Amino acid sequence: MSLTANLYPLLKPWLFRMDAERAHEWTTRMMRFSHSLGLLTVGQEVLPQKPVECLGLRFPNALGLAAGMDKSASAVEAWAALGFGFVEVGTLTPRPQPGNPKPRLFRLPEHDALINRMGFNNPGIHSAVKRLKKRRTQAVVGVNIGKNFDTPNEEAVNDYLLGLRAAYEVADYIAVNISSPNTKGLRDLQAEESIRSLLGALKVEQAKLAKEQGQMKPVLVKIAPDLDGQQIEALARVFNELAVDGVIATNTTISRVAVAGHPLEKEAGGLSGAPVKERSTDVIQAFRMLLKESTPIIGVGGILSGADAAEKMKAGAQLVQVYSGLVFRGPGLVQDVLRTIGA
């Protein structure tokens, strides 16, 4: 176990007494600082690195940091030092925006779960791109793009096109987020005609950028867990038709069934962590059966152990990501997952 993984169980009770968002900010600052002193890897044994060839990229390993943890691309090198093979930054919108009023992030430790209604607080895509131009890491970096809260859905395509153009040069892949429950109407973009027209425009732009810059960068779509069978079939049809490069399944859920009776149950936002695990795995399995074999899936939702990650891969994911599990298990989770899926 590394020093950081050993320290986390000692720090956790103190962090959990702090407001959740403050604890997140404090941890990110500490991580950056520790990394600058070379402390993040102290005592870390060589972890199994089973590289994965996927999306035309070489991932040092199959474990990634999910979007939302590093919205501003401020600590990419530090995440890589913890052992992540890839880091998805964002969601980034064209203009900076503050997000929803605080408090907007809640812990439900009894369920190993979080509820968040952050609302895409971020410094804007251009600021993140500037940072990423200076990045020094072997890890693959995905840039997750979204629309500003005040851009109507009819004009959303312009925000996504701007995000794609801005991110193209610095990203290894681009993730199109149409599944956050915290931007009003965003998930309506998952409706068949809306998604066909949005992705159609993005695929045309992707081809143009690939020609101009001499490199094809994959464009993936991140979807919600709250889709019924018909919606899943419709989305898979569009993804196959338009040759979408990959699917990220899933975002947070609006369902509260798994946390019914909890005092925070009624807080608005997306629920993540253990309660979304099964649903996310079911959605991965459904897409795996419907998508072209060559279209990879990144599995995310409720991974709290190496066994959970292996389950996502068994369901059809080529790569996996974590967010909430890191809050509840700390950096030891990275080591647990890498030992399990790298074995």
Ligand X SMILES: Cc1cc2nc3c(=O)[nH]c(=O)nc-3n(C[C@H](O)[C@H](O)[C@H](O)COP(=O)(O)O)c2cc1C
Q: How far is the CB of 10 from ligand X (least distance, A)?
A: 23
Draw the binding track, 120-159, toward ligand X (x: CB under 6 A; -: no contact).
Answer: x-----------------------x---------------
The secondary structure of 102-145 as a DSSP string is: SP-EEEEGGGTEEEE-----BS-HHHHHHHHHT---SSEEEEEE
Question: Rule CB under 6 A: is residue 252 a binding residue for ligand X?
Answer: yes
Identified catalytic residue from 2, 34, 179, 180:
180
The b/e string for 92-120 (b: 16+ C-beta within 10 A; e otherwise) is: bbbebbebbeeebbbbbeebbbbbbbbbb
Q: How many CA atoms lie within 13 A of 275 on its CB side?
A: 24
The rounded distance, in Å, linking the Cα atoms of 157 and 161 is: 6
Question: Rule CB under 6 A: is residue 67 a binding residue for ligand X?
Answer: yes
**Candidate residues 62, 78, 118, 258; the one interacting with ligand X per rule CB under 6 A:** 118
- 131, 90 contact by CB (below 8 A): no
**Alpha carbon of 16 to those of 21, 35, 174, 329: distances in Å?**
10, 23, 33, 12
Q: Tokens for 51, please give them.
A: 């590289």
Question: Rule CB under 6 A: is residue 66 a binding residue for ligand X?
Answer: yes
Q: Tokens for 217, please give them.
A: 């960068």
Q: Is 249 left (phi over 0), alpha (psi -120 to 50) or beta?
A: beta
The rounded distance, in Å, linking the Cα atoms of 179 and 286 is: 17
Q: How far is the CB of 325 from ligand X (least distance, A)?
A: 5
Q: How far is the CB of 154 from ligand X (least distance, A)?
A: 22
Question: Rule CB under 6 A: is residue 322 a binding residue for ligand X?
Answer: yes
Which residue intervals of the chain are DSSP H helices?
3-17, 20-36, 76-82, 125-133, 156-168, 192-213, 229-241, 277-290, 306-315, 324-329, 332-341
Question: Rule CB under 6 A: is residue 180 a binding residue for ligand X?
Answer: yes
Nearer to ligand X, 83 or 302 (CB): 302
Using the rule CB under 6 A, give the single segment among 7-15, 257-265, 282-290, 321-329 that binds ligand X: 321-329
Draw the binding track, 184-223, toward ligand X (x: CB under 6 A; -: no contact).
Answer: --------------------------------------x-
Catalytic: 180?
yes
Q: How far is the CB of 152 from ligand X (least distance, A)?
A: 20
**Site residues for ligand X, window 89-108 (CB under 6 A)?**
90-91, 105
**Binding residues for ligand X, total number by CB under 6 A:** 28
Nearer to ligand X, 38 or 101 (CB): 101
Nearer to ligand X, 80 or 223 (CB): 223
Output DSSP code: residue 225. Answer: S
Nearer to ligand X, 60 or 270 (CB): 270
Q: How far is the CB of 283 from ligand X (least distance, A)?
A: 11
Draw the binding track, 269-308, toward ligand X (x: CB under 6 A; -: no contact).
Answer: ---xx--x-----------------------xxxx-----
Active site residues: 180
Residue ranges binding ligand X (CB under 6 A): 66-68, 71, 90-91, 105, 114, 116, 118, 120, 144, 177, 180, 222, 251-252, 272-273, 276, 300-303, 322-325
